[in-house]
Chain A
């Protein structure tokens, strides 16, 4: 087994996930929220691949591929929504898009 210990990968993944989570929670621009979501997903991917390497099991890598496919779909939908909002001249601010409150 070459390269650094699996612990380092996990630390990097945790930092990435934390940045992503903070971005989702704190930023108001939908575009940035979407980017932050991608960060979180990729942090998870990093964890999957790191463990896959450690265990010598390809399952984790295959799963990471699946996550990427889902992420691509999610980005497509998310960007579509943002474009739709922009076309309606809505403010690109997630706090303003709160028509679904109870």
Chain B
């Protein structure tokens, strides 16, 4: 069981290395197959580990396996170790399973790209990094995985390096993530100081809960939790570090599906749940996480109403859905946070991948104003997209229904002013979800076919290759039934499973659950009807031009950061150049050079070329030396 977890971890790395080292000696197709197969092997390993773990008794489902000691310095010791428990095994299944489907899908999507091998090597590297992140048994190894997924994401967003926007987006993603990495690294350093050199999850949590170590004092624990939250916020694109995610849509669509929907952006949620003992010891920070989640889910939902890029709409919806997960993790509803992460991985990957089929079909067009009427031309893609949309909006039996309502019901169960505020925010978010999802759906698939669609309708290659349609089909099924692992009051194995690692705090009653469901479904349907009415009458959802402009500029976050950080930093640099570099540094260097030349000129005059002068100088110098030596005795 533990062995299979290690297989799961290293199989994608082997794939990445094989493709890299083989280079052009293997065909593109082979590279694609290596990447796909190693990812599916990882899924097999995860599955075996999961089954093995569930066969263990209750309470024994926490296995630490150490490969070797990675760092050792006095008492401080870090091991290359993995922690296999209910949470990590679930994440392993999600990452390798959905990841495998997406890599498989890439085979069709990237067909004919000049640098397919590089692409698949990056994809495998990403899957490995993500698995390392979720399997790591201590904070330092977690940070390694955290940094590696950032790297892989940078490489994949900027994969089409001939596009300047893609390169800029990659850099932006890297910089925003680096902010989070830095706060997280600081938190871990502080943790090592205060937890007497321990970094293992179980050891640190035991110290935090034990209460007699330095780490359990309120100041260090709050700072540590804040640092970890900073990392989570950056990686999961929550306000205020969210601006990189929409731009990251410049990358290939499968990358968006893999990194920016199903796996990497949910790493923050994983961290919140994994480090739940730390966050519970710092309740203010945990509430902050919930508040940030609530703000993000509203802001992203509103911005999604006016975007024209098919992938950007889905990207904002991703931000919004991760907002729900943050909300859930922030109020201690860990089970539902991970449950929403699971269903979201299904339906959001499905949405991205069916959007990818559309984009692929329309010769890389992403602007929805140039789409329309695709329903009859691409019936299977239409169906898949519809399933994804229904799951996203949370229509009953589709997976999103079970998970989102669980999150909302938990905040209702929490009660109080705080719980109610979050509850209302979540419900408004549900309405927004219905609006933007069906605006997108109607604009793309309904109405009259656009000129572009007509032009490309009969190009003869159908909806797309089998390797694209099959994974979409599998995910359609999962997005439909994947939520059935939790039926409130009847059957909740998933929540109990996660509870073994991170015990949920609020326990919604069955009545609360079904009441919330009714309201949320009603709001989702209202969103659907409003979007439909607006579409039929040819209007936009936001009609006031002033509001439209604000939303189109994404609430001016980019401009704000530009004004707050970029321009001051630029001004400081210019000022430093003008006031320090040029007058002080450059002039002093020039002065040193000029001084040396001048001194040399002076000294050169001593060298007269007259032999007798030299002889006199030598004689005089010897005489002085003799006198000095005699006197010194």
Contacts and interface: CB of A to CB of B under 8 A. Distances in A.
Contact of B605 (A26, A98, A102): A102
A33 to B, nearest CB: 7
Interface string B305-345: 00000000000000000000000000000000000000000
Contacts of A98: 608-611
A100 B604 CA distance: 11
Interface in B568-626: 603-612, 615-616, 619
A43 interface: no
Nearest to B602: A102
B610 A102 contact: no
A99 interface: yes
Closest 6 CB pairs of A and B: A101-B609, A98-B609, A102-B604, A102-B607, A94-B611, A24-B615
Contact of A21 (B605, B610, B619): B619
A21 to B, nearest CB: 6
Given A98-B611, A101-B608, 17 more contacts: A21-B619, A24-B615, A25-B616, A25-B619, A26-B612, A28-B612, A33-B611, A94-B612, A95-B611, A95-B612, A97-B609, A99-B609, A100-B609, A101-B609, A101-B610, A102-B603, A102-B608
A97 B611 contact: yes
Nearest to A97: B611
A28 B610 CA distance: 10
Contacts of B611: 33, 94-95, 97-98
Interface residues of A, number: 14
A95 B606 CA distance: 15
Contacts of B607: 100-102
B619 A95 contact: no
11 contacts: A21-B615, A24-B615, A25-B612, A28-B612, A33-B611, A94-B611, A94-B612, A101-B608, A101-B609, A102-B604, A102-B605
Interface residues of B, number: 13
Contacts of A97: 609, 611
A33 B615 CA distance: 11
The SS class assigned to the B binding surface is helix
Most chain A CB inside 10 Å of its own CB: which residue of B603, B615, B616: B615
Interface in A35-72: none
Contacts of A26: 612
Interface in A6-38: 21, 24-26, 28, 33
B612 A24 contact: yes
A26 B603 CA distance: 25
Nearest to B600: A102
A99 B605 CA distance: 13
B615 A25 contact: yes
Contacts of B619: 21, 25
A11 B326 CA distance: 103
A51 B610 CA distance: 36
A24 B608 CA distance: 17
A1 to B, nearest CB: 27
A57 B608 CA distance: 44
Contacts of A94: 610-612
Nearest to B604: A102
Contacts of A101: 607-610
Nearest to A26: B612
B625 to A, nearest CB: 15
Interface in A61-102: 94-95, 97-102
A99 to B, nearest CB: 6
Nearest to A37: B615
A24 B612 CA distance: 7
Contacts of A95: 610-612
A99 B609 CA distance: 6
B600 to A, nearest CB: 9
B615 A102 contact: no
Name the residue among A24, A97, A102 with the largest chain B CB count within 10 angstroms.
Answer: A102
Interface in B255-294: none
B433 to A, nearest CB: 86
Contacts of B616: 25
A98 B611 CA distance: 8
A22 B73 CA distance: 73
A36 B619 CA distance: 14
B480 to A, nearest CB: 93
Contacts of B606: 102
Nearest to B611: A94
A21 B620 CA distance: 11
A24 B234 CA distance: 84
A19 to B, nearest CB: 13
A35 B484 CA distance: 115
Contacts of A102: 603-609
Interface string B469-483: 000000000000000
> Which residue of B606, B607, B608, B612 has the most chain A CB atoms within 10 A of its CB atom?
B612
A33 B616 CA distance: 13
Nearest to B605: A102
Contacts of A25: 612, 615-616, 619
B25 to A, nearest CB: 65
Contacts of A21: 615, 619
Nearest to B616: A25
B617 to A, nearest CB: 10
A61 to B, nearest CB: 25
A8 B448 CA distance: 128
B248 to A, nearest CB: 66
Contacts of A100: 607, 609
Nearest to B612: A25
A87 B612 CA distance: 23
A21 B158 CA distance: 81
Contacts of B604: 102
A27 B615 CA distance: 11
Contacts of B612: 24-26, 28, 94-95
A26 B399 CA distance: 111
Nearest to A23: B615
Q: Output the residue of B610, B611, B619 with the most chain A CB within 10 A.
A: B611
A26 B619 CA distance: 13
